Homo-oligomer: A and B are copies of this chain.
Amino acid sequence: MTTRDHAVLRLAVDLAILTVRENALQALVITRGNEPFRNRLALPGGFLREGEDLHAAAVRELDEETGLDGDAIHLEPLGTYGHPDRDPRGRVVSVAYLAIAPDLPTPEPGSDAAEAAWMPVAETRGRLAFDHDGILSDAVERARIQLEFTNLATAFCGPTFTVGDLRNIYEVVWDRPLDPRNFSRKVLNTSGFVKPTGQKRIPQIGRPAALYQRGDQRTLNPPILRSTTATH
């Protein structure tokens, strides 16, 4: 047939990259160098290329815009955002990915982005271009849930970490205090969550803590649940 029975569109890949920095949940945002929304904050992203797989595009954008190694960093599909009016340039459907990174030095700005920087998620609310506020909210909610049922928290840490480090991730992402003693037991009783390295980290003050690395078990059994009777 010659008549077009489908929409002409472009497909973008956008990244919600989260980390815990300075005791706050932070997201990587760029300042847009081009129209539309020039000089506005946005999530890093770009268009899908010819013959390119979606996940590969996410890995490429992560590298291009932030210098992070997509193969080393937790990266998972988050959702697809396709409202017809979401991009003033025309029909652009965006596949969003959630990336979790350890606390790293400030990323190097990439080609498209005038500037890339970590910013506390709370400070981004209402300030992002396109529908990126919504994407970031969804990303944070997803991360909060994933902490309960997967070992995602270890992706926020470096190669080795203490139970205290891990607890700090949970406290910051969930925005609620946890009992250090019960948390410790829960983590160590959840088989495959973490693996002892035999090493210890000596802090400037206080008792040395055992160092762990990420375990093999992606899904936690039993899970680390947010209590329903929370303090609030």
Residues of chain A whose beta carbon lies under 8 Å from any beta carbon of chain B: 5-11, 47-54, 77, 79-80, 82-84, 91, 93, 95, 221-222, 228
Q: Chain B residues near A84: list those with CB within 8 A.
A: 51-53
In the complex, what's the smallest C-beta–C-beta distance from A172 to chain B, in angstroms?
23
Cβ-closest chain B residue relative to A145: B149
What are 5 pairs between A and B in contact, CB < 8 Å? Answer: A6-B47, A7-B47, A50-B91, A80-B80, A93-B95
In the complex, what's the smallest C-beta–C-beta distance from A36 to chain B, in angstroms?
15
Q: Chain B residues near A77: list those with CB within 8 A.
A: 79-80
Please report the C-alpha to C-alpha distance between residue A47 and residue B50 in the assembled complex, in whole angstroms: 19
Please report the C-alpha to C-alpha distance between residue A221 and residue B226 in the assembled complex, in whole angstroms: 12
Most chain B C-beta atoms within 10 Å of own C-beta, residue among A9, A47, A77, A83: A9
Q: Chain B residues near A221: list those with CB within 8 A.
A: 228
In the complex, what's the smallest C-beta–C-beta distance from A208 to chain B, in angstroms?
34
Please report the C-alpha to C-alpha distance between residue A101 and residue B222 in the assembled complex, in whole angstroms: 32
Q: A48 contacts which of B6, B10, B48, B54 (Cβ < 8 Å)? A: B6
Q: Chain B residues near A49: list those with CB within 8 A.
A: 5-7
Given contacts A77-B79, A77-B80, A80-B54, contact A7 B48 (CB under 8 A): yes
Report, nearest first, the 8 A-B pairs whose CB atoms are least far apart.
A6-B47, A54-B82, A80-B80, A7-B50, A7-B48, A51-B84, A6-B10, A80-B95
In the complex, what's the smallest C-beta–C-beta distance from A223 to chain B, in angstroms?
9
In the complex, what's the smallest C-beta–C-beta distance from A7 to chain B, in angstroms?
5
Q: Chain B residues near A228: list those with CB within 8 A.
A: 221-222
Please report the C-alpha to C-alpha distance between residue A9 and residue B6 in the assembled complex, in whole angstroms: 10
Q: Chain B residues near A82: list those with CB within 8 A.
A: 11, 48, 53-54, 95
Q: A47 contacts which of B5, B11, B48, B51 (Cβ < 8 Å)? A: B5
In the complex, what's the smallest C-beta–C-beta distance from A222 to chain B, in angstroms?
7
Whether B51 and A7, one on each chain, are in contact in the complex, defined by CB atoms closer than 8 angstroms, is yes
Whether A83 and B53, one on each chain, are in contact in the complex, defined by CB atoms closer than 8 angstroms, is yes
Whether B80 and A7, one on each chain, are in contact in the complex, defined by CB atoms closer than 8 angstroms, is no
